[in-house]
Chain A
Amino acid sequence: MRQSSGRKLTMHKKQQLIGWFFLIPATALIFWLSFYPMIRALMISFQGGRPTALQWSDPLTRNYQFLMKDTVFKTSLKNTFTYLIIQVPIMLVLAMIFATLLNDHQLKFKGVFRTCIFLPCATALVAYSLIFRTMFAYDGMINSVLMKIGILNEPINWLNNPGTAKAVIIIALIWRWTGYNMIFYLSSMQSIDYAIYEAARIDGAGAATQLFKITIPLLKPIILVTAIMSTNGTLQLFDESVNLTKGGPANATITMSHYIYNTMFQNNPNFGYAAAMSFVILILVAVLSAIQMKVGDKRE
């Protein structure tokens, strides 16, 4: 008895040891190419001066103190959170609706619908920003169609009005990323035994009950993943702000990453300040992810 349990322990230990070898390549790469530069960036966030002759700030937290007074940074923070609060929930709910509808075994042309809805993900960010910019132009397709139907009397300057410009970015983001999230839900749903749904249906459970009692609880891990990923992606939003609206009008659509980019590459380069702003994003993402994980755990 004792001997066998001892052997088991060493077996287990051996497996755990082998396990490390599974992780080493991936982990090493991330430490080397993500954490090491990040630590360098953290150091830079306490420095100032011209990029090739950085010096320690005096006081050390000078860059962080400036953050509080920077109106553009505050605007970018507000914009980013506007996108986050409106776009992420709409997108995830839509993705869940699509996935549920497409998981119906009686539905015809499933493959066609799935392909169509996922297709936007295939476009490069450069390409889709260009396409949306042209569609929402002042004399563009959207305006002429809306005027032909009679919804509008005169064209709207979509990208030149703070409200509508934000709306266009949100619409573009939803267009580009809903299918992406849907694929996660769908592939997870397909690993749920379909008999459960059939049994529920026999018991008289409606579509909504099935969704809330079966699908969502079972999909909780993947929902959490998509929520964290979308939050993270939105807080780091860059390409759309740069390519679609250039942050305008009057910084009404600029995101935090875009402002960081401008601070480094567009304006008089200030690496220390850019690094300090990056760490604010990092902290925000960390806090929001932690909250989401907590909420995700509680529902269990």
Chain B
Amino acid sequence: MSEGTFKKYGKRTLVYVFLILMSIISVFPLYWCFISSCNTTAEILGGKMLPGSHLIENLTNLFSQQDVLSAFKNSVINTVLVLVLSLAICSVAGYGFEIFHDKGKDIVMGIIMMSMMVPFVAILVPLFQMFTKMGFVNKYIGYILPSLSTPFLIMLFRNNARTFPKEVLEAARMDGLSEMGIFVRMFVPMMRPTFAAAATITFMNTWNAYLWPKVVLQTPASITMPMLVANLLSGYVVDYGVVMAGVTICTLPTVIVFFILQKSFTEAVAGAVK
């Protein structure tokens, strides 16, 4: 009996040790990046593991070298636009594909899924040429348009719409709710975890995007945070303290957003379990 108890607790301890180890591995590179923003280049290359006293100095250098505020503002505007518009467009579409599915729509869905297979580098040039003609270069719309409707989000919402109970749907129709009404009043509240997951993922992808913005946003006034970080590495002389300060400023918003959305995520799940 006591052996069994030991086995049980031993196993439990093992699980904790494993999870703690994995958490440390996951967090360490970010920790290292954050503390490095407080150190000088020499300290960083020397492998210093504790925060130093050069944060202010690094930040001052960073802000004097680059227009951080403008890049940050651009990143925020771009990300918020993509977040709101793409969640609206894709959730409606994913819901539509599942709830009203018939042969025609299934075929369209299949075709849409195929677009996921197109390597982005392949369509980069034709896309840029289209955008040049339409005058979208250097504008927010140029940045956001290609990420508004993604097969991935559509698929995510479509798959989750499968768990939307048919009885609720039928009952709402009986009550005379319009189809859009059912979506907004029934589906959206029920699918909060899905929306939270979709929002988290979209936020991170948009905030961190690099290849497309690099091509479509050409003036210093329109660059985003990841581009600014890359610019810091461009010179013949690299100040790692400044680079890490830039990386930290670039990374913090996604970390914060993750913490915020994670809370609503958990709440929604707790509600569902009840």
Contact = CB atoms under 8 A, between A and B. Distances in A.
User: By CB atoms of chain B within 10 A, which of A25, A38, A122 has the most?
Assistant: A122
Interface stretch (A66-74, A149-157, A209-217, A256-264): A256-264
Contacts of A119: 26-27, 30, 255, 258
Contacts of B266: 111
Contact of A38 (B33, B122, B204, B240): B122
Interface string B119-144: 11111111100100000000000000
B119 A23 contact: no
A190 to B, nearest CB: 5
Contacts of B154: 26
B56 interface: no
Interface in A7-51: 15-16, 18-23, 25-27, 29-30, 33-38, 40-41, 44
A282 interface: yes
A66 B269 CA distance: 54
Interface in B218-274: 225-226, 229-230, 233, 240, 243, 247, 250-251, 254-255, 258-259, 262, 265-266, 269, 272-273
B172 interface: no
Contacts of A64: none
Nearest to B162: A221
Interface string B127-167: 10010000000000000011011011011100100110000
A135 interface: yes
Contacts of A19: 96, 99-102, 105, 179
Interface stretch (A124-132, A159-167, A246-254): A124-132
A26 B89 contact: yes
B97 interface: yes
Given A124-B207, A124-B250, A261-B121, A41 B89 contact: no
Given A26-B93, A29-B148, A122-B258, A141 B32 contact: yes
Contacts of B33: 123, 127, 131
Nearest to A108: B16
Contact of A23 (B105, B179, B194): B105
A131 to B, nearest CB: 5
B15 A107 contact: yes
A115 B262 contact: yes
Contacts of B50: none
B121 A264 contact: yes
Given A33-B127, A116-B27, A117-B22, A236 B250 contact: no
Nearest to A280: B119
Contact of A278 (B121, B130, B183): B121
Given A26-B90, A27-B93, A126-B226, A132 B29 contact: yes
Contacts of A30: 112, 115, 149, 151
A275 B122 CA distance: 6
- Label chain B's interface by main secondary structure: helix
Contacts of A21: 96
Chain A interface: which size bin? 35 or more
B116 interface: yes
B141 to A, nearest CB: 12
Contacts of B90: 26
Contacts of B113: 289
A191 interface: yes
Interface stretch (A81-89, A179-187, A196-204): A179-187
Nearest to B201: A180
Given A23-B108, A37-B130, A191-B272, A124 B226 contact: yes
User: By CB atoms of chain A within 10 A, which of B90, B117, B121, B259 has the most?
Assistant: B121
A135 B29 contact: yes
A77 interface: no
B95 A22 contact: yes
A121 B149 contact: no
A183 B197 contact: yes
Contact of B210 (A18, A125, A139, A184): A125
B79 to A, nearest CB: 12
B208 interface: yes
B19 interface: yes
B242 to A, nearest CB: 13
Contact of B259 (A29, A102, A115): A115
Contacts of A222: 159
Given A116-B23, A278-B118, 7 more contacts: A15-B179, A22-B93, A124-B250, A124-B254, A179-B26, A191-B193, A275-B122
Identify the 7 closest CB pairs spanning chains A and B, nearest first: A19-B100, A22-B96, A278-B122, A26-B93, A116-B23, A29-B149, A37-B126
